[in-house]
Amino acid sequence: MSHRIFLAGATGAIGQRLIPLLRAAGHHVAGATRFKAKMPTLGALGAEPVVVNVFDADALKLAVLAARPDIVIHQLTDLPPGLDPAKMANAIGRNARVREDGTRNLIDASVAAGAQRLIAQSIGWMYAPGPQPHREDDPLDDAADGPRGITLAGVVSLETQTLRSSLLEGIVLRYGQLYGPGTGSEGPRGAAPLHVDAAAHAALLAIDRGTPGVYNIAEPNDLIATDKARRDLGFDAGFRLPNS
């Protein structure tokens, strides 16, 4: 079944790998970016370019209404290219704001446009200390402080808003640590690595599969369990786009 998709964060590492998958599956894609200069990139990938700032609630609502999506995919972040360590400290607060205020605005716009399902990007390494591998119903690390605490607050806000919207089917994808094109790392990294192509494919699968809720998305690892995603979404950690 084809859908009309509004993809927020379309020029990010996952977004650029996701657009070709969506188009190949027969979906119409409105791809949103903050930067007019990135419109040609979106057009070349097969998306209808939309330039809008997620913090401009009125403009975002108009953009989503114009796109008429039945599915909204939230891949918004505000992180430096390649996760440059020298710039990450300043990016943490900005990224948390995207997850809190940006998610709120995107949900309001999605509801106004009559969308049915919201698929949102989260992260899979914010669980509280405890037995591993962590499953989706394990508690998050609410004792975190400093930069981890700022990140956690943004994650909790994004997930809570996504899952508690009564007018949207909310699906949260807790991604592992990304590697591959556009991520700043060509090889696996972290305790729960995830290739960017497999991350994008999980979002594609979540359009028509899975009940509302949280799904851990990563390669086999000792930190987070991924059997729910494999069972309910058909997630395949080995998925790669051609020529990856």
Mean pLDDT, rounded, of the chain: 95
Q: In this predicted structure, which of 22-31, 89-98, 127-136, 211-220 has the lowest mean pLDDT?
A: 89-98
Residues 38-50: tens digit of each pLDDT: 999 999 999 999 9
Residue whose token pair is 């400093």: 146
Q: What token pair was written down for 187?
A: 């090889």
Asked if 164 contacts 214 with a C-beta cutoff of 8 angstroms, the reply is: no
Whether residue 57 is predicted with pLDDT greater than 90 in this model: the reply is yes
Which amino acid, 201? H
Q: Is the pLDDT of residue 83 over 70?
A: no
Vertex 111 angle, CA 40 and 6, to 5°:
20
Report the distance separating Cα 176 and Cα 190, nearest Å. Answer: 8
Q: Which fold has domain 4-232?
A: Rossmann fold (3.40.50)
Q: Provide DSSP, 169-227.
A: EEEEEEE-EEEBTTTTBSS--SSSEEEHHHHHHHHHHTTTSS-SEEEEE-SS-SSB--H
pLDDT level of residue 119 (50, 70, 90 thresholds): very high
149-160 pLDDT, tens digit per residue, is 999 999 999 999
Distance, CA of 75 to chain centre: 3
d(CA 95, CA 74): 13
DSSP state of 99: I
219 confidence band (pLDDT: 50, 70, 90)? very high
